[in-house]
Structure 1
Amino acid sequence: MAETIDLSRPKLARTHRMQWEEAQNCYVLLYPEGMVTLNNSAQEILSRCDGEKTVSDIVAELQAAFPGNSLEDDVFEFVRLASQQGWIELDP
C-alpha cells in the first residue's frame, strides 16, 4: 500500500479547513460536524497537503525541516489515518 500512498497527492477534503485557534493555542481542523485539535506533527503534515506534493515530497520536506529523524513511517501512517477519517483526499 505504501507504493500507492507515496505517489498520491493529498489535499484537505473540501469540507475541511485548517486554522489557528487562539483560544486553544494550536491549529485545528474544522469540518461541518465538529473540530479536531491538531498536534504539531499533524499540523506540519496537513499544512503540506496541497494537492500538488506527493506524500514522498512531503516526507522529503519534513526530513529537511527536522533532520535526524526518520519520519517516513509516521507520515505514511498519518496520511492513511487522515484519509480513513475523511480529513484528506488522495488524488493520483
Structure 2
Amino acid sequence: MSTALQPSSQPKLASHVRLGFDRARKQYMLQVPEAATVLNLTGATTLHLCDGRRTVAEIVEKLRDRYDHVADDDVANFLARLVAKRWVELDGD
C-alpha cells in the first residue's frame, strides 16, 4: 500500500470504515470506530467510487460526468485527508 496519492492510485475504504446513509437525518455518514462524519452528496459519491479498482483519475472523470465543476485538486485533497486519517487506503501505484 502506498501513502502518496497519484492519479494512478486506486483508493478504497479501509476495512474498519463504513459508508452509510442515515435515513432519519437524510445524510450520508462515514463511520469509523467510535466516530461518524457527515458527508455531503459529492463526498459520498466520491467514496462510493473508491472501490480499489478505479484510479483517482477515473474517479475524477466519473464525477465530471455527474457534476458541472470538478477540480482534480479538490478530489485529490479530499482523498488525501482521508488517507492521512487512515480511512482510505491506496493500491496500484
TM-score by length of 1: 0.88
Relative contact order higher in (CA < 8 Å, ≥ 6 apart): 2
Q: How many residues align?
A: 89
| RMSD value, Cα | 1.5
User: CA deviation digits over 1:14-70, x for unaligned, max 9?
Assistant: 001101101221110111121111111211111100000000000000111113x14
Paired residues of 1:62 and 1:71 also in contact (CA < 8 A): no
Where do residues 62-81 of structure 1 align in structure 2 (5 Å cutoff)?
62-67=63-68, 69-81=69-81
Extract unaligned runs of 5+ from structure 1: none
Give the corresponding residue for 1:5.
Answer: 6
* Deviation >6 Å, runs of 4+: none
Structure 1 range deviating more: 25-34 or 44-53: 25-34
Extract unaligned runs of 5+ from structure 2: none
Give the corresponding residue for 1:86.
Answer: 86
Distance 1:44 1:13 in 2: 17
Distance 2:20 2:5 in 1: 29
TM-score by length of 2: 0.87
